[in-house]
Structure 1
Amino acid sequence: MVSSTTRIALVTGGNRGLGQEIARQLATLGMRVIIGARTLAAGEEATQEDMFAGLMVSAKVLDVTRPEQIQIVVKQIVSDYGRIDVLINNAGISDGWQRPSTVDLDAASMVLNVNLLGAWMCAREVIPHMKANGYGRIVNISSRLASMATMDQWQEPAYRISKVALNALTRVLASEVQGTGILVNAASPGWVRTRLGGPNAPRTVEQGADTPVWLATLPENGPTGGFYGDRVLLPW
């Protein structure tokens, strides 16, 4: 049962991998978590797994490239619970081993639409409700591959560029909402064993979810406008 003090969280791309583990950890902390999935069947199948037994988790159809779906989901959450407290912008895709000099621009455009514009549209929809409630935590799932300070490889160019832009979005949103009770940060989960990360990744989803969950539960005086990995500030 949801009480007036229960935090309400939306996790995009929450039906598998990192997003699913973030949802589980938030729900374990007592939050009411709504996971967004591209199909209702995928979302509902995820919520019925044993990892969510006894937890407050449900699913909504949410393709972050479709602004009308984002608007509908946010309105439904606010209608059902009176507010939305946490947004985890986790939905993401990669363009793989494309070369930047010969990139398929249609594929690159799709990566940017999901990783950057999808997160931007979600933030745009939730921020007015967070402002009205005087509380909000927005976590953008980024990557160390987006660090301009350490970037020295060409692989996944659209993915890298989308995450660099997502970091910039984090900064400008944090600046705009400063003092409203909303904290906006970016998190790198590291190379995690998921469908996107592959079986050879060195980190578990539990390890990858730790920093996003920490940022989603920051106290009032917590940091904002930062880029974190393993709870440590990373270079832009």
Structure 2
Amino acid sequence: MLKRLMFLLAGLVAVSACGAQDKAAPAKTDWKEGQNYFVLAKPQPPAPGKVDVTEVFSYACPHCAHFQPFVDQLKARLPKQVTFTYMPVVFNPSWEPYARAFYAAQSLGVLDKSHQALFDALHRDHKPLRTIEELGGFFGGLGVDPKNFVSTAQSFVVEGQLNKGRELALAYEIQSTPTLIVNGKYRLDASSAGGQEQAIALAEWLVDKELKSAKK
């Protein structure tokens, strides 16, 4: 387990370093499979006729906080028929409360309000939000009853979502955060793409590739 965590943390450092690089995005014809993006061994396609982009992330990850503005750009530019999904991942026990917070916020209908706010609280304001109870206090500031938040975060439904997320993280071959998955088939990150802007450009290119394939 320790070896795996060290490997995962090394992946996080790689994402950070490559994300800071300032180099031009490759032309669309220059993206290389196995170098810039990877085809999953066990694809997890969405429903027939659908195209989906998933960001695998954690609120605990500072690189995810830095990547969020680029994610917002991607969401705004995606064609209407393409859906965007967030998937929190748990690399170690300290990350689990944040995954529970995501699913609870989603269930309570406050995710649009809480998503950026939680990133800001953790990485800009450095608030000590490490437990479900502390996170309940944070959500209380957003108008959510703290007790309702805690009970939702610890519910059977959220437990099932966590288990499903663990299965998908394995199928998606997740090694670091943030990672983008396009249509349950392709995996990429800022490191493989050559930077954060390049990662968004590559994701859009893969989306276009899938949309064209769906029309055939």
TM-score by length of 1: 0.27
Q: Select the structure of larger CA radius of gyration.
A: 2
TM-score by length of 2: 0.29
More strand by share: 1
